[in-house]
């Protein structure tokens, strides 16, 4: 294995913050901010579509302890996007801090700032609002070209041309293709043509959205937020509040989970606005209900797949049309949809002759969607992998064997993936490995267990990317400290993933020192070098490479300083971990001596900052297999085993990579079986709490087993690709497949509830 | 109203309102390990001991604790340190936000049942939600700790 | 969120009853779950925790369960587990989590008469009586039909050890979620009962003694289950439709009655 030559990379080790976290130390936003901050609360719209006709705050303001109540009249009139994306953002500028027009149940109507939570809650009830109800669009099928407009405003602005038109309720629209898909489809022996539906599933990270703001000692706005994107956040706040970036500092402490939710500045503007207006520290903590109804969930998508194949199971053509529901605002709308095709179609590069991928992204009067692990790939892979399983079952070919014939393999160029090469691809080995580990041969056949219980299995493949090619930027600063230890400063955000540790492992590898000698700090816009942030499976791959570069540069600087001490030519000074050696005469100076020298009469910086971006986004690959026991009478599905093999290049920290995979798989199980998203007839979310929105407990997920098949990605640090997102993609199609095997019914909508299973009959699919 | 209780072994007095939940009181007293995750008694993040019984501090009135003993993770650092390293070895701490509640309830489990089976562990901890880890790593960690305690040798990392 | 003006901990039942009778906005406090969800305002929260009602004891002919007994205690009580043949653990073990069940009380579950209640479903299938302060004892089935008034003070629950057996099953979408349907069947001293809850309305009891007079056989159980599915009224909510629930009534009735009849394991 390629990792064996490394001392730290490729080795499991504890996260640097693990004991702090496990012993409950105060490290999260609400643990570290002053107790006397103003409590910020948002009065939210009870209507899916309405206009604030009149709003009277006078009584609310009389509540003792209430400091301010702001309405749409008080906020700047500049529209902005809260999606954490690189400028110019593909997401439209369609938001105001408070808008007179309310576009979903939960859209903020007023901001209340008070000394106590009770006072704020009381004031909230006393803000008098007269709403003018407007017609609402509650079904994404009705949105496009509906005369009812979610965003009729003239100042709606798309910074990027993505095919959107607010006068058509359209956020983005496009079509792309390679080859003549209709011609190939017409020539195919079999065409599978079905539509698959996935809902606006919630990240449901344990720490809800929260932000604290204060004026710092220089009179600047200092924001501490649970965010994955400190730099984007600063830019968003600057535009929304109308103040220069030099007056804003954004930092993140430890984050209680993100999964993409915190790649959107969901709540930052409100306390920041309060602090700017009042000059006082202010904190806003979303309740779980607010996180559920006004967060940034997955985009609901409906994907029609037309899959053409030969009778021997060669997938020849794929035609996808995705209808994506961005909800009331367009965050991540134009980009998530792309992954539904770009991260599903290329899986079949091995046999595909033609493809077409088209989409529309529409506004509705429902909760705005955002970024959730998998980011559109999850939806696309559920559709395409289900269609492939349907093909295999129809042809009577083992679905793993069928995939062997069609899958993308090392060295292929992927036309449906921007013509990028699969330079590191162990998907074939993942399949072989998983088949053996899972004992596919024995678990795939349906087994009747008596009393209506049936055991069955299903399979799916997945891919994702590693960062956004040509866009994402990662940077790292490495500094030498007096005793020869180092500081690693990053702008990426460890949200529990362990990237602080992973990046430190890379630095330790480069600098030939123990990982304990690398102190990591991130992320703070005043201190960290620029980083797009932690999203799009980018941190290990892009920021990791920046760490590698920064360390190489720092070693050069160290050698220059050491050369002064040794009195040798800089090119003769050799960096050897805890010392530098003069290559010509063998004399050495310790790293501590070099470090002290760097602080006395020295002109070479004992630090280095490097930046990286990648022109490609190498996909990780994965195969997942599910075994279930299904009760045909009640429709209950008991997941027995979920096994997966992942190719993430070289896993930098195998323990953390495995946990990423296991955590992602269980989230995937949740969206397949237990998590539902429904609205009442007025557009109110039903699953507005953990009492109704059921993420899996440890009794709902069976046994997990994850192993790896390594490949070596030449453009990644130490051969690494990504793992953060891909891991959520296989459970839905694999479990849906197993349910088909057990019942003879294909379920093409998630979640697949016991009722849907018990009340459907195979004939429906004939 | 004034309440008096034993918090992590020390006598503590404080002024609360009749409807103050225990979690708010505890955080006011500096027990920041106690986290709120759901508001609906579903997540287990706010688990503390009330007279040594694990309960949800979001669902207990602070007034109920008057005259009783409350223990948070701040008061059980040594007992926790005994086994949490095994969770860390798995990387199963992840974001950490659910960890204090999970660690508290694991302590309760092991006090009640020092040698639980995997199924007993799952059942006892079912009320502790975790969105990051997928639970399996937490189980491996606890199992590795139990094995090490039995002298079977630590199998953490596997 | 609910607001509470005052909090008191009466030391006697008399005091508690007096406080509850005094003001309609005074409210008994037991398990305290879902505090943050309850709207409205309470004048005085009357906490029953000091009344010594958190214990259960087993006498020769009954389990006497103090109203403040936590669900977890009931779940772990060996005598009750033995008497119910494991049905108690089935009915209680999936309720949210251990910490929740350490707070939630048997009395609170019974008093609330919640539609989704596993506890009520099980207890209605047993020979259960409740004791109200002042009003004395009455069958649980009778109490369950009474309108809820805040003045009632539930003191104890008596589960008589009538010889026989009981089976319990529920269907849940996620293991610790509210049930889609709950079902308990019992044959106690010859009396056959089927109790179905989470319809989603409050649990309903069918007396099948007469219909099962010829004994519980696979055939009679099948027809009893069919009949139950017709008689038990079901409705729709986010967890299931009326049609699915009626289907489940049939399935769970057949399974639980089969177990009670001694020829099925309940699954």
Q: What is the enclosing helix (H) or strand (E) of A519?
A: strand A518-521
Q: What is the CATH number of the domain that holds B120?
A: 1.10.150.120
Shared domain for B56 and B81, answered yes or no, is no
Q: What is the mean pLDDT of chain A?
A: 97
Residues carrying CATH 3.30.390.50, chain C: 165-261
> With 50 as the cut, is the pLDDT of residue B73 above it?
yes
pLDDT at C151: 78
Q: What is the pLDDT of residue B154?
A: 44
Q: Work out the percent of chain A whose per-residue pLDDT is above 70.
A: 99
Question: Is A753's CB within 8 Å of C173's CB?
Answer: yes
Residues of B in contact with C7 (CB under 8 A): 1, 18, 61, 63
Structure tokens belonging to residue A727: 């891991």
Same domain, B97 and B63: no
Residues B71 and B82 in one domain: no
Distance CA A621, CA A623 (A): 7
User: In the prediction, which pLDDT does A766 show?
Assistant: 43
In a shared domain, residues B87 and B145: yes
Q: Are residues B87 and B127 in the same domain?
A: yes
Domains defined for chain A, CATH in brackets: 2-26+469-612 (3.30.365.10), 35-134+206-257+261-293 (3.90.1170.50), 300-466+617-765 (3.30.365.10)
Beta strand residue intervals within A613-684, DSSP E: 621-631, 637-647
Specify the pLDDT at position A762. Answer: 83
What is the model's pLDDT at position A247?
A: 98
Confidence class for position A763, pLDDT limits 50, 70, 90: low
- Say how many domains are in chain B: 2
Q: What residue of C is the nearest CA neighbor of A289? A: C37
Residue of chain C minimizing CA distance to B41: C34
- Segment A730-740 shows an average pLDDT of 98
Per-residue pLDDT tens digits for A708-719: 999 999 999 999
pLDDT in tens, A513-564: 999 999 999 999 999 999 999 999 999 999 999 999 999 999 999 999 999 9
B89, B69: one domain: no
- CATH code, domain carrying B42: 3.10.20.30
Residue B155 banded pLDDT, cuts 50, 70, 90: very low
More confident of the two residues C27 and C38: C27
Residues 66-125 of B with CB under 8 A from A: 72-74, 77, 80-81, 84-85, 87-100, 103, 122-123, 125
Lowest mean pLDDT among A268-272, C33-37, C135-139: C33-37
| Domain topology for C56-160 | 3.30.465
pLDDT level of residue C36 (50, 70, 90 thresholds): low
Cβ atoms within 10 Å of A761's Cβ, excluding its own: 10
CATH architecture observed for domain C3-50:
2-Layer Sandwich (3.30)
Residue B158 pLDDT greater than 50, yes or no: no
d(CA A37, CA A760): 55
pLDDT at A468 > cutoff 50: yes
Residue-range definition of the domain harbouring residue B82: 77-149
Render pLDDT for A276-317 as a digit per residue (tens, 0 to 9): 999 999 999 999 999 999 999 999 999 999 999 999 999 999
Find chain A residues with C-beta within 8 A of C238's C-beta. 676, 678, 686-687, 692
Higher pLDDT, A406 or A763: A406
Contact partners of B by the rule of 3+ C-beta pairs under 8 A? Answer: A, C
Percent residues over pLDDT 90 in chain C: 90
Q: Does B138 touch chain A (CB under 8 A)?
A: yes
Give the end of a domain, one of B21, B40, B75. B75
- CB spacing of C180 vs A755 below 8 angstroms: yes
- Closest-CA residue of A relative to C267 is A451
CB-based contact B18 C98, cutoff 8 Å: no
Question: Does residue B119 share a domain with residue B100?
Answer: yes
* Tokens matching residue A124: 């909230």
| Whether residue B140 sits in one domain with residue B112 | yes
pLDDT tens sequence across A426-442? 999 999 999 999 999 99
Distance CA A114, CA A116 (A): 5
- 3-state SS of chain C is CCEEEEEECCCCHHHHHHHHHHCCCCEEECCCCCCCCCCCEEEEEEEHHHCCCCCEEECCCEEEEECCCEHHHHHHCHHHHHHCCCHHHHHHCCCCCHHHHHHCEHHHHHHHCCCCCHHHHHHHHCCEEEEECCCEEEEHHHHHHCCCCCCCCEEEEEEECCCEEEEEEEECCCCCCCCCEEEEEEEECCEEEEEEECCCCCCEEEECCCCCCCCCCHHHHHHHHHHHHHHCCCCCECCECHHHHHHHHHHHHHHHHHHHHCCCCCC
Band (pLDDT 50/70/90 cuts) for residue C37 is: confident
Q: Which of B34, B88, B157 sits opposite A15 (nearest CB)?
A: B88
* Superfamily grouping for domain C165-261: CO dehydrogenase flavoprotein, C-terminal domain (3.30.390.50)
Report the predicted TM-score, pTM, of the whole model to 2 decimal places: 0.97
Q: Where in chain C is the domain with CATH 3.30.465.10?
A: 56-160
Task: Return the pLDDT at A1.
Answer: 43
């Amino acid at each position: 294995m390629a990792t064996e030559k490394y001392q730290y990379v490729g080795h499991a080790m504890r996260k640097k913050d693990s004991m702090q976290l496990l012993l409950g130390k105060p490290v999260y936003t609400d643990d570290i901010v002053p107790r006397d901050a103003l409590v910020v609360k948002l009065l939210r719209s009870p209507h899916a579509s309405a206009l604030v006709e009149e709003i009277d705050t006078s009584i609310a303001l009389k509540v003792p302890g209430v400091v301010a109540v702001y309405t749409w009249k008080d906020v700047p009139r500049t529209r902005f996007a809260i999606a954490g994306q690189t400028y110019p953002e593909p997401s439209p500028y369609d938001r105001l801090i408070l808008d007179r027009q309310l576009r979903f149940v939960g859209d903020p109507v007023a901001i209340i700032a008070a000394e106590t939570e009770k006072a704020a809650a009381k004031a909230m009830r006393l803000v008098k609002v007269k709403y003018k109800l407007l017609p609402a669009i509650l079904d994404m099928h009705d949105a496009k070209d509906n005369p009812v407009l979610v965003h009729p405003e003239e100042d709606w602005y798309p910074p990027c041309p993505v095919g959107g038109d607010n006068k058509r309720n359209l956020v983005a629209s496009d079509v792309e293709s390679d080859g003549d898909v209709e011609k190939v489809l017409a020539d195919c022996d079999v065409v599978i043509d079905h539509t698959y539906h996935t809902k606006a599933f919630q990240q449901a990270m344990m720490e809800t959205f929260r932000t604290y703001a204060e004026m710092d000692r220089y009179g600047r706005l200092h924001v501490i937020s649970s965010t994955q994107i400190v730099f984007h956040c600063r830019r968003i706040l600057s535009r929304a509040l109308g103040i220069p970036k030099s007056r804003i500092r954004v930092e993140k402490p430890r984050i209680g989970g993100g999964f993409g939710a915190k790649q959107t500045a969901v709540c930052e503007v409100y306390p920041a606005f309060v602090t700017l207006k009042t000059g006082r520290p202010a904190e806003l903590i979303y309740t779980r209900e607010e996180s559920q109804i006004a967060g940034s969930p997955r985009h609901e998508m409906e994907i029609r797949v037309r899959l053409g194949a030969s009778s021997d199971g060669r997938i020849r053509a794929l035609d996808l049309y995705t209808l994506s529901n961005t909800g009331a605002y367009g965050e991540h709308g134009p980009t998530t949809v792309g992954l539904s095709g770009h991260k599903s179609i290329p899986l079949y590069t091995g046999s595909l002759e033609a493809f077409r991928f088209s989409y529309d992204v529409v506004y509705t009067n429902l909760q705005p969607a955002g970024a959730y692990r998998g980011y559109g790939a999850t939806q696309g892979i559920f559709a395409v992998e289900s269609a492939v399983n349907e093909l295999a079952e129809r042809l009577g070919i083992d679905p793993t064997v069928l995939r062997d014939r069609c899958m993308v393999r090392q060295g292929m160029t992927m036309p449906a993936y921007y013509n990028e090469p699969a330079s590191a691809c162990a998907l074939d080995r993942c399949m072989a490995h998983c088949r053996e580990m899972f004992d596919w041969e024995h678990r795939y056949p349906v087994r009747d267990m008596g009393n209506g219980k049936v055991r069955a299995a299903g399979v799916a493949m997945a891919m994702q990317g590693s960062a956004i090619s040509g866009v994402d930027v990662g940077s790292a600063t490495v500094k030498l400290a007096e005793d020869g230890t180092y500081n690693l400063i990053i702008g990426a955000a460890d949200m529990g993933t362990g990237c602080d540790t992973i990046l430190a492992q890379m630095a330790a590898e480069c600098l030939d020192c123990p990982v304990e000698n690398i102190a990591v700090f991130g992320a703070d816009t005043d201190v960290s070098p620029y980083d797009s942030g932690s999203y799009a499976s980018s941190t290990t791959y892009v920021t990791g490479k920046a760490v590698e570069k920064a360390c190489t540069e720092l070693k050069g600087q160290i050698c220059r300083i050491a050369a002064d001490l040794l009195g040798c030519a800089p090119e003769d000074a050799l960096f050897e971990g805890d010392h530098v050696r003069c290559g010509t005469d063998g004399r050495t100076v310790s790293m501590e001596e070099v470090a002290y020298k760097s602080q006395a009469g020295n002109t070479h910086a004992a630090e280095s900052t490097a930046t990286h971006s990648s022109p490609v986004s190498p996909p990780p690959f994965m195969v997942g297999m599910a075994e279930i026991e299904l009760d045909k009478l009640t429709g209950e599905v008991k997941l027995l085993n979920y096994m997966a093999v992942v190719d993430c290049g070289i896993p930098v920290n195998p323990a953390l990579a495995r946990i990423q995979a296991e955590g992602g798989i269980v989230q995937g199980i949740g969206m397949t079986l237990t998590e539902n998203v429904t609205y009442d007839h007025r557009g109110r979310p039903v699953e507005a709490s953990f009492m109704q929105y059921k993420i899996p407990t440890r009794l709902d997920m069976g046994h997990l087993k994850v192993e790896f098949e390594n490949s070596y990605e030449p453009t990644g640090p130490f051969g690494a690709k990504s793992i953060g997102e891909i891991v959520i993609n296989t459970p839905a199609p694999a479990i849906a497949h197993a349910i088909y095997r057990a019942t003879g019914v294909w379920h093409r909508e998630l979640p697949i509830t016991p009722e849907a299973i018990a009340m459907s009959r195979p004939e429906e699919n004939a | 109203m004034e309440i008096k209780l034993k918090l992590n072994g020390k006598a503590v007095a404080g002024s609360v309102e009749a409807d103050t939940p225990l979690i708010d009181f505890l955080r006011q007293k500096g027990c920041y390990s106690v986290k709120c995750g759901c508001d609906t008694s579903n997540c287990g993040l706010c688990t503390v001991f009330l007279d040594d019984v694990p309960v949800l501090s979001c669902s207990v009135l602070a007034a109920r604790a008057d005259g009783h003993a409350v223990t948070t993770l701040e008061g059980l650092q040594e007992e926790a340190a005994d086994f949490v390293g095994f969770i860390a070895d798995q990387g199963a701490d992840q974001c950490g936000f659910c960890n204090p509640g999970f660690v508290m309830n694991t302590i309760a489990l092991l006090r009640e049942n020092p040698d639980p089976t995997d199924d007993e562990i799952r059942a006892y901890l079912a009320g502790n939600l975790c969105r990051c880890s997928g639970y399996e790593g937490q189980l491996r960690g606890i199992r590795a700790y139990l094995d090490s305690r039995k002298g079977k040798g630590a199998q953490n990392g596997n | 969120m609910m607001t509470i003006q005052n909090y008191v901990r009466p030391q006697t039942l008399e005091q508690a009853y007096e406080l509850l009778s005094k003001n309609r906005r005074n409210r008994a406090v037991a398990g305290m779950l879902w505090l943050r969800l309850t709207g409205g305002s309470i004048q005085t929260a009357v906490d029953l925790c000091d009344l010594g009602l958190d214990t259960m004891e087993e006498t020769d002919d009954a389990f006497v369960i103090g109203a403040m007994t936590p669900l977890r205690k009931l779940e772990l009580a060996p005598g009750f587990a033995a008497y119910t043949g494991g049905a108690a653990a089935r009915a209680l073990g999936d309720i949210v989590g251990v910490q929740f069940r350490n707070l939630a009380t048997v009395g609170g579950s019974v008093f609330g008469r919640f539609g989704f209640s596993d506890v009520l479903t099980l207890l209605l299938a047993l020979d259960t009586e409740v004791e109200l302060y002042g009003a004395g004892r009455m069958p649980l089935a009778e109490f369950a039909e009474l309108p809820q008034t805040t003045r009632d003070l539930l003191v104890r629950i008596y589960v008589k050890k009538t010889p026989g057996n009981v089976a319990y099953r529920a269907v849940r979408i996620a293991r610790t979620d509210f049930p889609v349907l709950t079902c308990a069947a019992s044959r106690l001293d010859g009396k056959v009962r089927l109790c179905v809850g989470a319809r989603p309305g409050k649990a309903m009891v069918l007396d099948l003694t007469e219909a099962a007079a010829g004994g519980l056989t696979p055939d009679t159980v099948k027809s009893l289950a069919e009949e139950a599915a017709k008689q038990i009224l079901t409705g729709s909510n986010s967890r299931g439709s009326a049609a699915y629930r009626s289907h489940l009534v049939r399935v769970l009735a057949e399974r639980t009655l089969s177990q009670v009849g001694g020829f099925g394991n309940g699954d």
